[in-house]
Amino acid sequence: MAYSVRTLKRRRRRRRRSVRVPYLTLLAWMCIFAAGYATLAPGSTGSGAHAKLALCERPRQHDCVVDGDTIRFGGSTIRIEDIDAPETGEPKCASEGRLGRRATLRLLELVNVGPFVVVYTGGRDADVYGRKLRRIERDGRSLGDTLVAEGLARPWNGARRSWC
């Protein structure tokens, strides 16, 4: 069966397009993954990020504040390594729950003010729960330091202490 030159050219173009679309889609996903990972990789100081975060309401929600010392951002759960904030999930007393709620809302406010940087400072990459241990900074200052200065968190010394 003989085909015209025009028909053959049309078939070649379709074949090229069918290969090109999945390749470009894969390339786009790799770029998105690399951009998100660059802010979290060990040895990286991160890059300025500005995303509007919300309060976490669902288990797998992205770009949200979990509590006063934990956020989900860039596909990872990040524990602010230099502070300890009161628990909100299972507080030991009512005052811890109230203070934890205030710390959570303040952290939400702080990250939504403007661009911030996720910084790996060395040491452990993750905690026992798999959360990335990072500092969150704006203009070279840790947002955790702000929470500590306002009495909503305390410096992390490696040991859990009661908030009650």
CATH class as words, domain 48-155: mainly beta
Q: DSSP characters for 53-111?
A: -EE--STT-SSEEEETTEEEETTEEEEETTEE---SSS-SSHHHHHHHHHHHHHHHHHH
* pTM of this prediction exceeds 0.75: no
Could you read off the pLDDT of 102-151 as tens digits, one per residue?
A: 999 999 999 999 899 999 988 889 988 899 999 999 999 999 999 999 99
Give the residue extent of every domain in the chain: 48-155
Closest C-alpha among 88, 80, 89, 86 to residue 132: 80
| CA 60 vs CA 33, 53, 71, 72: distances in Å | 17, 14, 12, 9
Could you read off the pLDDT of 35-66 as tens digits, one per residue?
A: 444 344 444 445 455 668 999 988 888 899 99
Q: How many residues does the chain have?
A: 164
d(CA 87, CA 153): 10
Query: What secondary structure letter does DSSP report for 13?
Result: H
Query: Chain-wide mean pLDDT for the chain?
Result: 80
Task: Kindly list the catalytic residues.
Answer: 79, 87, 131
